[in-house]
Structure 1
Amino acid sequence: MNPILLAADSGSSARSLTITLFVIFVLITLGITVWASRQTRNATDFYAGGRSFTGFQNGMAIGGDYMSAASFLGIAGIIALSGYDGFLYSIGFLVAWLVALLLVAELLRNSGKYTMADVLAFRMRQRPVRTAAAVSTITVSIFYLLAQMVGAGALVALLLGIKPGETFLGMDADTAKVATIVFVGVLMIVYVVVGGMKGTTYVQIVKAFMLMCGAILMTLLVLAVYKFNLSSLLGEAATKSGKGAAFLEPGLRYGKEVAGDPTQTFYNKMDLLSLGIALVLGTAGLPHILTRFYTVPTARDARKSVLWAIGLIGAFYLMTLALGFGAAALVGGAAITKQDKAGNTAAPQLAQALGEKYLGGGTGGSVMLAVIAAVAFATILAVVAGLTLASSSSLAHDFYANVLKRGQTSERQEVQVARISAFIIGAVSIGLAIFAQSLNVAFLVALAFAVAASGNLPAILYSLFWKRFNTAGATAAIYGGLVSAVLLVFFSPVVSGSPTAMFPHNDWHWFPLSNPGLISIPIGFLCGWLGTLLSREPADEAKYAEMEVRSLTGAGAH
């Protein structure tokens, strides 16, 4: 029996079990969402969960928000296919939390109310800054949403056992992927519209628990195969990868040295640096992570929640090493790319191989695959709900209430607009995700990190720490970083000009790097600095002093 692709005799049982487990999870989370809707009475409940979560609960929810499909599916896939170079993602995502903890977590919790723009607009003119923040939040969220939905689509053909020439409910594999993307999009809209922040947070807590249990189980089984000898695991992974010793050395995917082409070698090394910078700085600018700091009652709880999140996330990313190298060793690179060229199904394929080895052949493989598949779908649903909530909240609170209505609107109207916004953002994300199915989900998230670090992070840091900073500087930082990042991505090999691009049969790329962070992040900081110095608008020093006291002490915080 082939240990990689679903065997014919166990295909129907795996399919039934997968669907059953997924339906159970969806029903449980919908129940939580309906319960939370009855506890949502005002804007604070909808946007910030009534600021009622403990540091531990919020830490679990942050972990649930952060450990996305990119972490579980994408990173495992990149490590399985690229070895040492895939490890960069694990380290980058983890180190990024130190930046978030040291620079923004407590200060943001004390200075804001519901969204990132509350901090940026505290001492600026409201309308231009909130408009810019809303545009940036929605852009970053949609990039991130694409990754989750692409991950959902990649799972489907494997989980439902649809092979070439076969159909399921009248759908071939490609149609099933599209249908899944639409289904996930509809579910995420329901979570946000009905449950708000309370429902979304509890869904994320449940998902974080499930994901950690699944990752721990798979890690222990992988290590048990090699009698907890890491050297044996890595050696087998290198052999089965088809790349030999190079699999365990840097340069297989990033920073490649191209013989006889020093220019391309230089670009490859710069791309590696760009990716690293984007991963490390991006977290502190992610809107859906920043809004989580508002759900706790005090700054102390905000710090606690980040510490809990770091512990949870750190343990998880260490386990992605076992999952990635385990998939390379037990599944093999050829079988992984046969199922999904970007490697997004490496973790579920590893689960099936482990199940067949330890749980009794094909049926055991089907059971293990179904369980991990349900965990993966839970991961996707929880993260897309958080992203949709962050972007719809920004559209309603920042743009509608404070820009269009100039603050003259009721909380009820604002929440109603947030719910309508969730439908719009969900529809846009569904449409774009259908075109991005060929890309690795971890890579898509790295692009979201680059956009967040380019537009949001400069504006946040300048607002918190630079007295001279003004409205012109804030809008210049956000738009400068955002536009440069998106334009560079559009003209990069990610979108056109390469076999794995979104449009592989077209070529309009001129920017040589796959990740724009190396260029766009400095542009964001430079635009904020120049915009401030070239503007004649005086900085509001009294407001800055008030913000400084509030951010550092918590006095007057919401």
Structure 2
Amino acid sequence: MTAENNPVLNIAIFLAFVLVTLVIVFRASRNNRSAADYYAAGRSFTGPQNGIAISGDYLSAASFLGICGAIAVNGYDGFLYSIGFLVAWLVALLLVAELMRNTGKFTMADVLSFRLKQGPVRTAAAVTTLVVCFFYLLAQMAGAGGLVALLLGLNGPVAIGIVIAVVGVLMILYVLIGGMKGTTWVQIVKACLLVGGAAIMTVWVLAVNGFDFSALLQKAAETFGASQKAADAGLDGAALLAPGLQYGANPLDFVSLALALVLGTAGLPHVLMRFYTVPSAKEARRSVVWAIWIIGAFYLFTLVLGYGAAALVGPDAILAAPGGVNSAAPLLALQLGGPVLLGIISAVAFATILAVVAGLTITAATSLAHDIYASVIKKGKPEPGREVKVARWTVVGIGILAIIGGIAAQGQNVAFLVALAFAVAASANLPTILFSLFWRRFTTRGAVWSMVGGLASALILIIFSPAVSGGPTPMIPGVDFHWFPLSNPGIVSIPVGFLLGIIGTLSGPSKEDRRVAAEMEVRSMTGHGAEKASDH
């Protein structure tokens, strides 16, 4: 691959994307005057615009490179990831999107503290938000470093570290200057590039196979059957088309991962924040419907691209490339369109990382500035303009931490970081959100127990799981202190989060104001009073 790869062309295309998006961010920043402008883009985006931005926020480098590679190497089992990520949006649409937009102002904690005690609930919500954002951010930054060797022809920890630092500085610039409005436009541009690039490659792969998907599957099965990977595993080509190749040994692991993916999305703070950038609950609902269509189409593209890579490149060549499994989509691009298409796909991959880390950064900064500084420390009465200044300083701090963390995580197995982010969101955030919205009896103690217990159980189980030590690709090789048998804690930690919320509520007196609970129920269901609460 490296003989035909053209790093100069890849960098040129990437720089063109950076320049265009920086211009967009500068133009968007002109109207950033209030907290609502900086955190929620002045609630000026339409449902379709926000739906495209949500898909840009959600479709990370793992979605594009990771799932294509998983399908190319593991077949149908890899596609199960796509199904989990997509089905999750039905939970967000039916249970969360409209109600969150009606009840909150800027963050998830606004909803959780609506009828509960501000201090403990906001603090716990901010902690879970920061943990989810940090692990997600770390995985994206480390992923950026891992792609460097493959896409830009650079090698060595110093070169990769420099690229991670460049990504971090760009992320800080986007969020510092543009706020949520600039970040949203970057995500819209990135989503159009990603879905457009995937669509072109999908049509190209189908055209090469006479637009016969069955013929593509047959060719992929034949290539897989002739590969060394299949021979080592004692499999034939049919294994690529049947479920059970990857999870046959421990199907509980897949159930646990699926639970985390399906339930975690509705609790991801950077996704929930997007519901506040639209002017009404109706537009929030429309934005989720748009996101489902775009993300659904994209994951269908990954099915064709994954099997296309298996057929045209082969699993052995993919695994032997510098990026390993993640190299399937770029190798397929090189096979189809040479260095130019590879350069475009390279730029799209980096654009994907930039857009996702920008969304995560502004979410973490908003949580610290709005939930901790303005609402807890200043008791809801910060000095004019001070809250946004704190948010901007927080962006710089988070950016520096992300750069250091990304450099430190070079060469590590970062897949478990993303899984952990989803597991924490599903274990700590979702139970508290659903109880707050649908259970009048729910108390502050129940909320804190649910968030802290869900977070702690997810973290403890992942630390003592095969993903960290003792597994096939552990984060810490050479040692084995795992006692939890599954790589993802979701099947245990999610019920723990729900159970602790129930026990915490029922074990103590109900001191919450039932009238406020009733008001929250009416507002969440009807939107009455939501517009007044949105003003800042």
- Please indicate the TM-score interval, normalised by the length of the shorter structure: over 0.9
Secondary structure at the aligned position of 1:122 is classed as: coil
- Determine whether 1:95 maps to 2:95: no
User: How has the CA–CA distance of structure 1 residues 441 and 237 changed in structure 2, closer, same or farther, with 3 Å as cutoff?
Assistant: farther
**Percentage identity across aligned positions?**
63
What is the CA distance between 1:83 and its match in structure 2?
Answer: 0.8
Q: What residue in structure 2 maps to residue 61 of structure 1?
A: 53
Q: Give CA deviations for 1:79-99 in whole Å, capped at 9, x if unaligned.
A: 112111111111001100000
Give 1:28 deviation, angstroms.
Answer: 1.1
In structure 2, do the counterparts of structure 1 residues 15 and 348 end up closer, same or farther at CA, with 3 Å as the change threshold?
A: same
- Matched with 1:508 is 481
Whole-angstrom distance in 2 between the partners of 1:206 and 1:439: 30
Q: How many pairs align?
A: 521
Shift of 1:146: 2.3
Distance, in Å, in 2 between the alignment partners of 1:114 and 1:253 is 41
| Amino acid of the structure 2 residue aligned with 1:277 | L
Where 2:166 maps in the other structure, the secondary structure is: helix
- Quote how far apart the aligned CAs of 1:424 are: 2.2
Instruction: Answer whether contact 2:267 2:426 (CA < 8 A) is retained.
Output: yes
Match of 1:245 among 235, 238, 247: 238
Which of 104, 115, 120 lines up with 1:112 in the alignment? 104
Q: 1: distance between equivalents of 2:74 and 2:328?
A: 12
The answer as to whether partners of 2:413 and 2:473 remain within 8 angstroms in 1 is: no
Superposed counterparts of 1:442-521, under 5 Å:
444-521=417-494
Match of 2:165 among 162, 165, 182: 182
Aligned counterparts of 2:105 and 2:368: Cα–Cα separation in 1: 15
Q: Deviations over 1:130-169 (max 9, x none)?
A: 000100001111121123223212221122224xxxxxxx
AA at the equivalent of 1:216: A
Aligned to 2:340: 367
Deviation at 1:341, TM superposition (A): 6.0
Letter in 2 for 1:24: A
Which of 534, 540, 558 does residue 507 from structure 2 map onto?
Answer: 534
* Cα separation, 1, equivalents of 2:436 and 2:109: 11
Give CA deviations for 1:340-391 in whole Å, capped at 9, x if unaligned.
4651121111111111xxxxxxxxx111110010011111101110011111
Q: Is the CA contact 1:69–1:441 (under 8 Å) kept in the aligned structure 2?
A: no
Is 1:218 aligned to residue 179 of structure 2? no
CA contact (8 A) 2:146 2:411 kept: no
Distance in 2 (CA, whole Å) between partners of 1:62 and 1:476 is: 30
**Counterpart of 2:185?**
202
Q: Aligned letter for 1:138?
A: L
Matched residue, 1:323: 305
Whichever residue aligns with residue 187 of structure 2, its letter is: Q
In 2, Cα distance between equivalents of 1:427 and 1:161: 25
1:6 matched to 2:14? The reply is no
Could you say which residue in structure 2 is the equivalent of 1:71?
63
Name the structure 1 match of 2:75.
83
Show the counterpart of 2:328.
346
Is this contact kept in 1: 2:413–2:475, CA < 8 A? no
Among candidates 299, 317, 321, match of residue 281 of structure 2: 299
Report deviation, 1:442: 5.8
Tell me the equivalent position of 2:18.
Answer: 26
Are 1:149 and 1:380, in contact at CA under 8 Å, matched by a contact in 2? yes
Q: TM-score, normalised by structure 2?
A: 0.94
* Alignment pair present for 1:233 and 2:216: yes
User: 5+ unaligned residues in a row in structure 1: which ranges?
Assistant: 163-171, 258-267, 356-364
Paired with 1:442 and 1:64, the residues of 2 have a C-alpha distance of: 20
- Which residue number corresponds to residue 317 of structure 2? 335
Distance 1:418 1:284 in 2: 24
Select between 436-445 and 204-213 the one with higher mean Cα deviation. Answer: 436-445
Compared CA separation, residues 353 and 340, structure 1 to 2 (3 A): same
What is the distance in 2 between the residues matched to 1:44 and 1:213?
A: 32
Tell me which amino acid in the other structure corresponds to 1:199.
G
**Is structure 2 residue 262 aligned with structure 1 residue 289?**
no
Against the structure 1 CA distance between its residues 301 and 442, is the aligned structure 2 distance closer, same or farther, given a 3 Å change threshold?
A: farther
CA gap of 1:485–1:248, structure 2 versus 1, over 3 A, is same
- Identify the match of residue 391 of structure 1 among 364, 376, 388: 364
Unaligned runs of 5+ in 2: 231-236
CA drift of 1:489 comes to 1.1
Q: Quote how far apart the aligned CAs of 1:48 are.
A: 0.2
Query: What's the TM-score, normalizing by structure 1?
Result: 0.91
Q: Deviations over 1:384-417 (max 9, x none)?
A: 1001111110011001111122223124111111
Which one of 44, 49, 52 corresponds to residue 52 of structure 1? Answer: 44
